[in-house]
A and B are shown apart, each in its own frame.
Chain A
Amino acid sequence: MKRLTLAILSAALVLVSGAAIAKEWKIVRIGVEGAYPPFSSVTTSGELVGFDIDITKALCKEMQVKCSMVQQDWDGIIPALLARKYDAIIASMSITEKRKKKVAFSDKYYNTPAKFARKKGSGIEISKEGLKGKTVGVQRATTHDEFITGEFDDTATIKRYGTQDEAYLDAVAGRVDLLLADSVAMDDGFLKTDKGKDWEFVGPDYTDPKYFGIGVGIAIRKQDTDLVEMFNKAIAGIRTKGTYAKINAKYFDFDVYGD
């Protein structure tokens, strides 16, 4: 009797694990942020738009899978992936060593430097001395948060926000002296808009891989190696077929892919 149960159990186990290995990705759930223009934002009618969103749609088409998008706040975006709320994150996430400890990444799909912005006429210079006593606004749990915490924690006051948009709000309100963010996101999402008209870039481009990684990729659970492969192929696919260039041109007048 015992042996029979064991046999049934192990047969069932083989079936279940066999099914898991052979699982074909027909539906892929994608975690997106929706508060990071021009890459990801929500329109007044509640629709998700942006570079990340268009890339997501293009990649899903290329992979011939159905995709559903799940909006998730940034600082819970990796835990929610690990908790299987969705299968991949396409949300301008830089590929860093620290994140690689928790998740796997696809190849990069764009790469842009980080930069500071200051209020016009404030005359703040970017140096240990220049940041003394100044308040810098960053989005929590981003590479920019890592960088400012690692390099300027001893001189500047750091204010961390849940979304980049909240940091912009406080910049306009005058609660922060400097912003540190992705140069493209900040340019299109803030400096070129009406509320950011009194602000300007200052200091060099930051690309130090120690903080900023090697570009922006798609985060996937480590065990889903097949999905990583699928995304890599799809990224290469939309690059060669020109879909990427079309999306690039829709949002930017330069090449966001980087070199």
Chain B
Amino acid sequence: MDVAAIIDNLPLYFKGLGITLSLVSGALVCGMVLAIPIGLLASVRNPLIWALPKAYIYLFTGTPLLVQMYIIYYGTGQFEALRESFLWPVLKEAYWCALIAFALNTAAYTAEILRGAIEQTYYGEIEAARSVGMSKATIYRRIILPSAFRRALPAYGNEVIFMLHGSALAGIITIVDLFGAARIVNSRYFVPFESFITAGFFYLCVTFLIVWGFKLWEKRWHAHLRPRDTDAAQKVGKLPVSKPG
């Protein structure tokens, strides 16, 4: 075990961690902004409306993220017209190419999660909302979306973790993210085990924080689904104490 090589390069790993975190959070924010309208439109029962968003979801969930990233990074560089366009300053940078690919990809998955959650809305709730005279927009705003977001939360937590893990692909197109840092350390010292297990450890820590964060979030949003705190209720005498057995 070559521990010294890892310790000497910890600053490189932390720099890589910073790039990974900024890529993932940037992609998640952009992806969410895209996913809400796409998911909403995909859930509407009118083929003219759902066709396009569903095609988008199908396209981006049906192809590997690596392929999407290669098309955006190496593919765009092939066209002279693109290279001379106003888009090039963005597409020239590997970082932005990765961010675009990740955002488009996670947008598709998130939209699909949202679509499913919206379609699961209990019809009685909508009927009730209609019966008190809410407009369509109000029903979406007050009834459908809040409950859909709640239902989507656990699946979205998984998507965030998948995005973190998928972001390792950025290391392939010259970005020095966590995985890129590990590859540099490996190439300098020929220590694949030590260098990649260190990167794995960093990913594990971030995953842990994400899981923990979502647990807190769910606790808040799913408070109404939790079993009542019987101990506390018994103490103040609101619930009868049942004997075990």
Q: Which of A140, A166, A170 contacts B183 (CB 8 A)?
A: A140
| B77 lies within 8 A of A79 (CB) | no
Q: Is the CB of B94 within 8 A of A79?
A: no
Q: Mark B82-109, 1 if CB is under 8 A from A, else 0.
A: 0100001000111000000000000000
With an 8 A cutoff between CB atoms, is B78 at the interface? yes
Contact among A79, A145, A170 for B192, CB-based, below 8 A: A79
Count how many chain A residues have C-beta atoms less than 8 Å from C-beta atoms of the other chain: 21
Q: Does A55 make an interface contact (CB < 8 A)? A: no
Interface centre among A79, A160, A173 (most CB of B within 10 A): A173
Interface-central residue, B88, B92, B94, B172, by most chain A CB under 10 Å: B92
CB atoms of B77 and A172 under 8 A apart: yes
User: Which residues of A are found within 8 Å of B92, using beta-carbon distances?
Assistant: 173-175
Interface size on B, residues (CB 8 A): 18
> 1/0 per residue B174-200: CB within 8 Å of A?
100000000110111010100000000
Residues from chain B with Cβ under 8 Å of A172 in the complex: 77
Task: Give the shortest distance, in Å, between B184 (CB) and chain A (any CB).
Answer: 7
- Chain A residue at smallest Cβ distance from B92: A175
Nearest opposing residue in chain A for B180, CB measure:
A160
Q: Which of A99, A102, A162, A175 has the most CB of B within 10 A?
A: A175
Q: Which residues of A contact B78 (CB under 8 A)?
A: 173
- Chain B residues positioned under 8 Å from A169 (CB to CB): 74, 77
Q: Are B187 and A140 in contact (CB under 8 A)?
A: yes
Is there contact, CB below 8 Å, between B188 and A141?
Answer: yes
A75 in contact (CB, < 8 A): yes
* Distance of A79 Cα from B94 Cα, bound (Å): 28
Measured CB to CB, the nearest residue on chain B to A140 is: B187
Residue A78 interfacial (CB < 8 Å): yes
**Residue numbers in B under 8 Å from A170 (CB-CB):** 74, 77, 174
Q: Is A159 an interface residue (CB 8 A)?
A: yes
Restricting to A120-142, which residues have a CB under 8 Å from any CB of B?
140-141
- With A159-B174, A161-B174, A175-B92 already in contact, the answer to whether A141 and B187 are too (CB < 8 A) is yes
In contact, B174 and A174 (Cβ under 8 angstroms): no
Among A173-193, those with CB < 8 Å from B are: 173-175
What is the CB-to-nearest-CB distance from A135 to chain B, in angstroms, rounded to a whole number?
10
- If A79-B192, A169-B74 touch, whether A174 touches B187 (CB-CB below 8 Å) is no
- Chain B residues with CB under 8 Å of A18's CB are none
B74 — nearest CB in chain A belongs to which residue?
A169
Complex contacts, B76 vs chain A, CB 8 Å: 173
Q: Which residues of B contact A161 (CB under 8 A)?
A: 174
Task: Decide if A204 is an interface residue (CB 8 Å cutoff).
Answer: no
8 Å CB interface, A144-168 against B? 145, 159-162, 166
A102 to B184, CA, bound (A): 17
Residues of B within 8 A of A46 (CB): none
* Chain B residue contacts of A102, Cβ below 8 A: 190
CA distance A145 to B174 in the complex (A): 13
What would 19 A/B residue contacts be, using CB atoms closer than 8 Å?
Answer: A75-B183, A76-B186, A79-B186, A79-B190, A79-B192, A141-B188, A159-B94, A159-B174, A160-B174, A162-B172, A169-B77, A172-B77, A173-B74, A173-B76, A173-B77, A173-B83, A173-B92, A174-B83, A175-B77
* A-B pairs, 6 with minimum CB distance: A173-B77, A141-B187, A79-B192, A159-B174, A75-B187, A78-B190
B positions within 8 Å CB-CB of A? 74, 76-78, 83, 88, 92-94, 172, 174, 183-184, 186-188, 190, 192
